[in-house]
Chain A
Amino acid sequence: DIVMTQSPDSLAVSLGERATINCKSSQSVLYNSNNKNYLAWYQQKPGQPPKLLIYWASTRESGVPDRFSGSGSGTDFTLTISSLQAEDVALYYCQQYYIAPITFGQGTRLEIK
Chain B
Amino acid sequence: EVQLVESGGGLVQPGRSLRLSCTTSGFTFADYAMNWVRQAPGRGLEWLSFIRTKAHGAAAQYAASVKGRFTISRDDSRSIAYLQMNSLKTEDTAVYHCVSSRDGYDLYFDSWGQGSLVTVSS
Q: Which A residues form the contact surface with B (CB < 8 A)?
A: 38, 40, 42, 48-52, 55-56, 61, 93, 95, 97, 100-107
Contacts and interface: CB of A to CB of B under 8 A. Distances in A.
Contacts of B113: 49
Interface of B, helix, strand, loop or mixed by DSSP: loop
A52 B44 contact: no
15 contacts: A38-B106, A49-B112, A49-B115, A50-B45, A56-B108, A61-B110, A95-B45, A97-B107, A101-B61, A101-B64, A102-B47, A102-B50, A104-B47, A105-B44, A107-B44
Given A52-B110, A52-B111, 11 more contacts: A38-B106, A49-B97, A50-B45, A50-B97, A50-B112, A95-B45, A101-B61, A101-B64, A102-B50, A102-B107, A104-B45
Interface in B75-108: 97, 106-108
Contacts of B45: 42, 50, 93, 95, 104, 107
A55 B102 CA distance: 12
Contacts of A38: 106
B108 A106 contact: no
A93 B108 CA distance: 12
Interface residues of B, number: 20
Nearest to B4: A49
B12 to A, nearest CB: 22
**Which 8 A-B residue pairings sit nearest by Cβ, starting from the closest?**
A49-B112, A55-B108, A102-B47, A40-B108, A97-B107, A100-B61, A104-B45, A107-B44
A42 B115 CA distance: 16
A93 to B, nearest CB: 6
Nearest to A51: B112
B17 to A, nearest CB: 23
Given A49-B97, A102-B50, A95 B44 contact: no
